[in-house]
């Protein structure tokens, strides 16, 4: 059987199970507040199982591009604390995102190349030259949905290691903000309480700083081309 059909079947089953069993009901702010004490008790008695289970759920959620990653990050902060929760969430998010990236590359890259290969050449070349900085920008600036960056990056020629480390480093600031908020879960009434304009603005500035080396190099190249020999 074609490997692509097997992978599509696994993804479809995972997504179908999520919605068929209404697992999303556990990923609401109210549900997190309700079950927080029970999860903390379990963590105190079974710390390793709780950490591994949490990472596994986070990987599955991000790999299948399911909704709920933000709330899982809050939960990570609520259970493990701001700092430890940030790193535990980062492991799950980075591994899950890389799986989604690889799945998109395996399933879609050949088709996209055959349909739009010529049109994408310039984009691919630019992305390859500054891939790490671009990845940092895409991860730091919250204007780009996490799952969309995973899938769209898969159809580029960016190396897996660049995607992996760009994701791991670029998601740390945002993860800490939400994990830190999760450590004070009782005081949160809405996700809007966390993603304030000031916080979003700070992320945009961080993203722009990530692009500074790339922009400088482009400016330098243009200046050298325009200078007389």
- Give whichever of 12-26, 105-119, 175-189, 204-218 has the largest mean pLDDT: 12-26
pTM of the model: 0.83
Check pLDDT > 90 for residue 61: yes
Boundaries of every domain in the chain:
3-226
Q: What is the pLDDT of residues 17-58, one digit of tens each?
A: 999 888 888 888 889 889 999 999 999 999 999 999 999 999
| Cβ(61)–Cβ(69) below 8 Å | yes
* pLDDT band at residue 91 under the 50/70/90 scheme: very high
Determine the Cα–Cα distance for residues 159 and 125; give it in Å rounded to an integer.
Answer: 13
Binned at pLDDT 50, 70 and 90, residue 201 comes out as low
The pLDDT value given to residue 12: 92
pLDDT over 90 (residue 189)? no
Gyration radius (Cα) of the chain, Å: 20
Distance separating alpha carbons of residues 123 and 118, to the nearest angstrom:
10
Sign of CA dihedral 175, 216, 143, 106: negative
């Amino acid at each position: 059987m074609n490997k692509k059909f097997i992978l599509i079947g696994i993804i479809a089953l995972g997504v179908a199970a999520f919605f068929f069993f209404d697992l999303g009901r556990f990923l609401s702010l109210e549900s997190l507040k309700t079950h927080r004490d029970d999860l903390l008790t379990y963590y105190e008695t079974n710390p390793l199982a709780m950490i591994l289970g949490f990472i596994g759920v986070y990987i599955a959620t991000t790999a299948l591009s399911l909704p709920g990653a933000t709330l899982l990050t809050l939960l990570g902060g609520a259970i493990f604390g701001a700092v430890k929760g940030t790193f535990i969430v980062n492991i799950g998010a980075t591994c899950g995102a890389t799986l989604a990236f690889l799945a998109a590359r395996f399933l879609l890259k050949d088709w996209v190349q055959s349909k739009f290969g010529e049109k994408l050449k310039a984009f691919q070349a630019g992305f390859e030259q500054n891939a790490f900085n671009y990845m940092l920008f895409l991860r730091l600036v919250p204007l780009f949905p996490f799952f969309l960056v995973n899938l769209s990056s898969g159809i580029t020629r960016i190396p897996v290691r660049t995607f992996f480390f760009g994701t791991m480093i670029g998601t740390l600031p945002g993860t800490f903000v939400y994990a830190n908020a999760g450590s004070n879960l009782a005081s949160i009434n809405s996700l809007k309480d966390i993603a304030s304009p000031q916080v979003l603005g700070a992320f945009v500035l961080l993203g722009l700083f990530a692009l500074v080396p790339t922009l400088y190099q482009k400016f330098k190249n243009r200046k050298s081309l325009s200078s007389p020999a």
